[in-house]
Structure 1
């Protein structure tokens, strides 16, 4: 009987190596997931190694004829079993013995098979444990290798960083060395530059001179900007000594070239002109300027270098000295020529012509000198002050020639002409047209103009005082209205054109002199100066005309005096209107009138000298008060004109309608008395009669008054109108002046007519025969 095989496999004994290997594989699997391609490769690899043979050390334990896997050889047991089966069992004991043997054989066969299987597994587990131990050792070696790699990598990185730092430090040291070398180069240049400058062959004309000078300037600038360096002050002093030596050499070279050119020009002038101090203009152009232009070409490079560095103090001083040297040499050539030319002009020409010619000649000289100067100093030619040391002495010759002449000039017309020449022709045309090339002459010309203005102002004030304020009229000056009546043709011309010069003949001389003076001064003087003179002239002229009016009133009649004053004040007002100025002047005076009173109070002890809080303090006691007074000549003129016109209107009104005005005044007095008597109801006691019963108001008396007034209107008023036409040439002026007179006459007649209507009967009014207001107005209008 063959025992059946156990269908369930026995559990494998657990092993630490297997567990460790399994855990490692599981962790590996989780941490390193495989891609599909890698998994496919593993499957293919597993198929390839599925028939892998046992290791050589395991082949000896295998049973021949056994297939792969775990199996038990049963050939012997089968033979034994078949033999046992084939045995003859005689009795029960044999059966039990056989059964026991058979059972033991079967049990032995089964245990042997599984024991062999267990042994195999144990061997394989041991093999796996060995492999896992090798893997562990390998992993440990790998970890140690990885740690060593990390250490090597760290050391390598540290080495690289150290190398980088060393390279950076090296670069910094190189840069520091270069910077130090570049800074030291400025100090090292001292010896090289000193050797070059002190060389006998070195001169301003040497081509290495200017580059060395430039390098010297760079060294000085560097040392100046870095005073913190050791011994920088010592090096700076030495560098400046070298620079001073170089600049002195340049100065001497320029002076030598200029003197040489000047000497050549002097020799040329002596050869051409002999002993004459002046030469012709063509010689000036060909000798004085052409030869100096050659000198400018020789000095061009050096002077350009100096101008380019003029921002530095030492070069600015050198440039100024070069300008001075140049001006001295040019002045030595030109002063004699300019003096001679201006002297010739002075001998031949009058003051205005001399001014015109002298200024034109100076402008020509200045323009030529400016052009020549620009050849020497191109960058400095725009500065007006650069040529001042040359031009100012030349301008002084003209100024010294002109000043004595216009200081002694008393003719205002000449002085005004001189102002026109300077202001319009010289400053206006010449300098404005060539402002850049002649800018240096403007101060001198403006100075001459200011002196002429001062002289003209003085002469104008003298003229106002002597010819207007202190004017003493002759008999013919006051012969009005005969002076106007003697020139009927002049009056006719003036009626058509008041701008005719013959009109001045009928003017009072003081007025004509005032307006003539103002018309001349207006375009010659500054507005501020002219305003003061105009205010003074108008005020003085107004007073002079008023004095003349009073004299004419005494000689002729008050009406002639009034019309004379109105005529001249109107002319004065009309003629000063175009002047665009204010005739208002504010006078300021210092008032010390309060000083005596304060001192008395201090001496009496009524006030303290040092009480600064009171008005009697020391500072306030001795401080004058400033009194301001404003005088407006134009407004004063208007007031005088207005009052004179009112006087004339009232005087004419009184002449014409004085009887009517007296009658109206008496009537008013009677009415007042009657009104008072009516209130008291005692007319008889008062003695007041009705108006028409009064002696002065009887119809006959009133008729006489009306006839007398009508006679005055017909006879005297035309004479007044004739005088007005004689004095006042403008019809509109006469109309304006006559209008209030007519109004007064009409008003007087209107009042009389109103009284007649209220106090007299119709028959009495007809007997009085008062002219109606409408007829009277037509009659008055016809007079003009």
Structure 2
């Protein structure tokens, strides 16, 4: 840049009338630029470090092309094409290295034992947090993240300001898709090593973080893939071999040109929508598993009662009612007041003992209290609904004495208060 500026000043001194046309300097500046390009290119195309490539983009775009060339004006105009060419090479190298990084470090990541050590990893982190200051905690927020998640967010954060929007969108879509798949694979391994609930909460935690972290990127995570389809070619060739079509009949749809013309298939992948779909499905699975853990005896009871009522109804319509089936509900072996009291006690015990353990595990994985409240709300609704159904059945089928002296169910209001206290 200094040499180019000096050459311009010298040229302007001797040939002031010609210096207004920058192209007049081209025979002098172009060889210098070629030397610069030939010196830098071998270094650029062998650079593998994403941080260095991103820094080079910033230096060239902001400091050199933006600040230096704007400030020095026409004296460096002849250098601009070469600098833009160098920047294009850096962009190309950065795109290639980013795609390689996404493939090796995210899509094909092989987890270590400590990467899958949940919930122990979170418990250790929780103990460490209580001993450190809040500033240390903030700087270490990603320590408990599954590595592909941290690598994805770190990679996208570096690339966002360095690449053209269309290129970044394609890379971001790939990274988010592969990261989501990697997290789901890890959750299955954790479910086997620890528990199904740990696997579910691990997946919910990481998908929520991924969704939150990609939100600031102002792009669509949707990419349209085009591919050529030759599947119809085989059937055309079979018809030709059977003599049903001619290879050289150009007027027919089975002509050579048409036969060998591929179809273009388009498919659109939206990584963000797929992420939302996976998150929703996992949350629903978790909600149902916790619901069953607590009120499964009640759900089974309601199912059996419904089956008995259907049998009674169909039997009475056919006028062939078995005497054993006609018996009142509380006379059925599974529905005696004592049996109902057992299931009520079992559910009550689960609410007092099992549910607090679940809530503690939720707190371990999901630090945000509002997130836990959103996830717990449908669980609470399901538990209350199961109790309401049983209360309704008991009120219609059992005597007040049975309900008071034997079954002794908690009221819906007390139940709701008890569940609210768990949050």
| TM beyond 0.5 | yes
Query: Who is 2:414 aligned against?
Result: 775
Instruction: Pick one of 207, 218, 224 that aligns with 1:586.
Output: 224
Q: 1:397 aligns with which of 6, 26, 35?
A: 35
Root mean square deviation of aligned Cα? 2.1
1:377: Cα distance to partner? 4.6
CA distance in 2, matches of 1:780, 1:382: 82
C-alpha distance 554-750 of structure 1, shift in aligned 2 (>3 A): same
Deviation digits for residues 82-110 of structure 1, max 9, x if unmatched? Answer: xxxxxxxxxxxxxxxxxxxxxxxxxxxxx
- Tell me, yes or no, if the aligned pair for 2:109 and 2:148 is still in contact at 8 Å: yes
SS at match of 1:500: helix
**In 2: Cα distance, 1:387 partner to 1:690 partner:** 106
Kindly report which structure 2 residues correspond to 1:324-403, keeping only aligned pairs within 5 A, or say none. 362=1, 364-378=2-16, 380-403=18-41
Cα distance, 1:465 vs. partner? 1.4
Distance 1:475 1:416, change over 3 A: same
Picking from 233, 237, 241, the partner of 1:603 is: 241
> CA, structure 1 residues 494+445, in 2 after alignment: closer, same or farther (shift >3 Å)?
farther
Change (3 A) 1:717 1:496: farther
**1:671 has 2:271 as partner:** no
Distance 1:681 1:602, change over 3 A: closer
8 Å contact 2:129–2:137 — kept in the other structure? no
Structure number with larger C-alpha Rg: 1
Moved more, 763-772 or 445-454: 763-772
Gaps of 5+ in 1: 1-361
Aligned-pair CA distance for 1:380: 4.5
Unpaired stretches in structure 2, ≥5 consecutive residues: none
Describe the SS at the equivalent of 1:423.
helix
Q: Residue 110 of structure 2 corresponds to which residue in structure 1?
A: 472
Cα deviation for residue 374 of structure 1 reads 3.1
Match of 2:79 among 430, 436, 441: 441
Q: CA deviation at 1:631?
A: 1.1
Partner of 1:517: 155
8 Å Cα contact 1:494/1:729 also seen in 2:
no
Task: Check conservation: 1:673, 1:688, Cα contact below 8 A.
Answer: no
Aligned position for 2:214:
576
Which whole-Å CA distance do the structure 1 matches of 2:416 and 2:136 have between them? Answer: 31
Secondary structure, counterpart of 2:322 in structure 1: helix
- Per mean C-alpha deviation after superposition, the further-off stretch among 632-641 and 594-603 is 594-603
Secondary structure, counterpart of 1:599 in structure 2: helix
1:556 is matched with which residue? 194
Deviations 1:261-303 (A, max 9, x none): xxxxxxxxxxxxxxxxxxxxxxxxxxxxxxxxxxxxxxxxxxx
> TM-score scaled to structure 2, two decimals?
0.94
Deviation at 1:621, TM superposition (A): 1.1
Alignment match of 2:284 (pick from 639, 646, 649): 646
Distance 1:435 1:753 in 2: 84
**Partner residue, 1:545:** 183
Q: Distance in 1 between matches of 2:112 and 2:326?
A: 59
Cα deviation per residue 1:698-745 (whole Å; 9 max; x = unaligned)? 111111111110110111111111111100111111111111111110
- 2:216 counterpart SS class: coil
- For the 8 Å contact 1:490–1:503, the answer to whether it is kept is no
CA contact (8 A) 1:490 1:502 kept: no
Are 1:689 and 2:327 matched, yes or no?
yes
Q: Give the aligned length.
A: 422
Q: Secondary structure at the match of 2:267?
A: strand
Q: How many angstroms apart in 2 are the aligned matches of 1:639 and 1:499?
A: 31
Match of 1:621 in 2: 259
Query: Pick from 628, 634, 653: which aligns with 2:272?
Result: 634
How far is the alpha carbon of 1:754 from its aligned partner? Answer: 0.8
- Asked if 2 retains the 8 angstrom alpha-carbon contact of 1:609 and 1:616, the reply is yes
* Structure 2 CA distance for partners of 1:517 and 1:401, relative to 1, 3 Å: same
Q: 1:493·1:500 contact (CA, 8 Å) conserved in 2? A: no
Residue 377 (structure 2) aligns with: 739
Rounded to whole Å, the distance in 1 between the matches of 2:24 and 2:94 is 33
Q: 1:471, CA displacement in angstroms?
A: 1.1
SS at match of 1:466: helix
Does 2:141 correspond to 1:507?
no
Give the SS at the match of 2:112.
coil
SS in 1 for 2:226: strand
Residue 549 of structure 1 and its aligned partner are, at CA, apart by 0.4
Sort the Cα spacing of 1:516 and 1:582 in 2 relative to 1 into closer, same or farther, 3 A: same
Which residue matches 1:533? 171
State how 1:297-316 maps to structure 2 within 5 Å. none
Contact 1:724 1:734 in 2 (8 A): yes
When residues 383 and 566 of structure 1 are mapped into structure 2, their CA distance, relative to the original with a 3 A threshold, is farther
Q: 1:475: how far off? A: 0.9
Give the whole-Å Cα distance in 1 for the aligned partners of 2:58 and 2:127: 36
The alpha-carbon distance between structure 1 residues 774 and 426, as it changes in their structure 2 partners (threshold 3 A), is same
TM-aligned CA deviation for residue 534 of structure 1: 0.7
Specify the SS of the correspondent of 2:153: helix
